[in-house]
Structure 1
Amino acid sequence: MSGSSELVTQLLKVAIAYTRFFEECDDSVLDDDTALKQMEYAAYLLHQLSDVGKRRLVDELAALVAAEADPAERESVQGFAFGMGLVESEDG
């Protein structure tokens, strides 16, 4: 794995972890409006990618899904592209 590819993979894992946090935290941790704004901002930033960049992101997500042994984690990663509006269906 090249340094660039490793960087992209790790940053993607960070983005998934933080968006999952915003999605799953309750009001005692973070109010719903703030969590939603953060999720929308993450989606906005991802939509700034070129079509080639978006395709690469979706391909990287598919590789993460294929490598993930934990079913719950795999499901979370699978839904990320759809949740961020990068693909039209959860199947990619």
Structure 2
Amino acid sequence: MRTGNEPSTARSPLRMRLWLSLWGMVWALFGLVAFVATGRAGWAAACGVLLVITVTDLCVVVHRLRQGPHYQPGRDIPPYEPDRGGRGRYRR
């Protein structure tokens, strides 16, 4: 929801998520290889699951980065009226 007080230089955290995903992927892969080499199957499985999660996150981030910027209303568009706590369409 747009409140009207967003900074004009706001940036997406996707690039930070990209680097954190890469960092996590490297460490999960290192842990997987190290634990398989030492014969610790439980820890290797945990690192394998973590590796799958980081690769999935990396794919999502790359997909969203390739989508490009989305429409953002300019300064001439007034902010949305805040929810005053009234009974909305989907509230119970």
TM-score, normalization by structure 1: 0.37
Larger gyration radius, structure 1 or structure 2 = 2
In terms of fraction of residues, the more helix-rich structure is 1
Does 1 or 2 have the higher relative contact order (CA < 8 Å, sep 6+)?
A: 2
TM-score, normalization by structure 2: 0.37
